[in-house]
Chain A
Amino acid sequence: NAGVTQTPKFQVLKTGQSMTLQCAQDMNHEYMSWYRQDPGMGLRLIHYSVGAGITDQGEVPNGYNVSRSTTEDFPLRLLSAAPSQTSVYFCASSYSFASRNTEAFFGQGTRLTVV
């Protein structure tokens, strides 16, 4: 069981470039989310999805887009990278109506540097 697979693990971008962080899960979870983690700030929710075709904003959505065309995949797009988006990004999946378990499973993270 792969769990949550996140790619890439490291990325350096120039200001203004765009890129997509990939996230896939094989646990049939309805709920998927993206967080960014900065020192002393904990995990801050960027966007989340409760199922294919349904997404919503979290606490810090500006500068990011998401889509959910399948249950398994939840990519995060940076539209025009800025140095303030330098962070570690985590994708997580949790909750299925079948299990009603709220445990969140996290990917290994993407360390993004914007120069």
Chain B
Amino acid sequence: TQLLEQSPQFLSIQEGENLTVYCNSSSVFSSLQWYRQEPGEGPVLLVTVVTGGEVKKLKRLTFQFGDARKDSSLHITAAQTGDTGLYLCAGAKRGSTLGRLYFGRGTQLTVWP
């Protein structure tokens, strides 16, 4: 059973459209991270959210941590072809080994020109 459920698993959109990716759990996390992975590479951190209700913006990407720290969302405004990639959420769970992250299965985003 996956501790973090990501949806949707696949997303295929046209350039200029908006999209939201969700990361949900029944567990509480001390922090939640979003990574992006491109083909042939390892995942790279985009953002870490720590406080319940926190919103962080990274250019056209908006990340939100749920008030109860059980879920998170990633919203992309006016998607570009360069946003194509695998987006992974990962959580650090309270009481777990320091450094251990629990990953969702990922959302494969394809943005068409």
Q: Residues on A close to B: CB < 8 A?
A: 4, 29-31, 33, 35, 40-43, 45, 48, 50, 56, 90, 92, 94-95, 97, 102-104, 106-109
- Taking a contact as CB atoms under 8 Å apart, the answer to whether B99 and A94 are in contact is yes
Interface residues of B (CB under 8 A from A): 2, 6, 9, 31, 33, 35, 40-45, 48, 88, 90, 92, 97-101, 103-106
Instruction: Give A29's nearest chain B residue, CB to CB.
Output: B99
Q: With A42-B2, A102-B48 in contact, is A30–B99 under 8 Å at CB?
A: yes
Q: Which of B40, B90, B100, B105 contacts A109 (CB 8 A)?
A: B40
Most chain A beta carbons < 10 A, residue from B9, B42, B44, B103: B42
Q: Residue on B with the closest CB to A106?
A: B42
24 pairs from A and B in contact (CB 8 Å cutoff): A30-B98, A30-B99, A31-B97, A31-B98, A35-B103, A40-B105, A42-B103, A43-B43, A43-B88, A43-B103, A45-B100, A48-B97, A48-B99, A50-B97, A92-B42, A95-B99, A103-B33, A103-B48, A104-B43, A104-B90, A104-B101, A106-B44, A108-B40, A108-B42
A33-B92 Cα distance, complex, nearest whole Å: 14
Knowing that A104-B43, A107-B42 touch, tell me 11 more A-B residue pairs with CB under 8 angstroms.
A30-B98, A30-B99, A31-B98, A42-B106, A43-B43, A45-B100, A56-B97, A92-B42, A102-B92, A102-B98, A104-B33
A109 and B98 within 8 A (CB): no
A-side interface mostly: strand
A-B contact count (CB 8 A): 66
Q: How far is the CA of A69 from the CA of B38 in the complex (A)?
A: 32
A75 to B9, CA, bound (A): 32
Least CB distance from B68 to A in Å reads 20
B99 touches A42 (CB 8 A): no
Given contacts A42-B105, A48-B97, A104-B101, contact A109 B33 (CB under 8 A): no
Residue of B nearest to A90 (CB): B42
Q: Which chain B residue lies CB-closest to A44?
A: B103
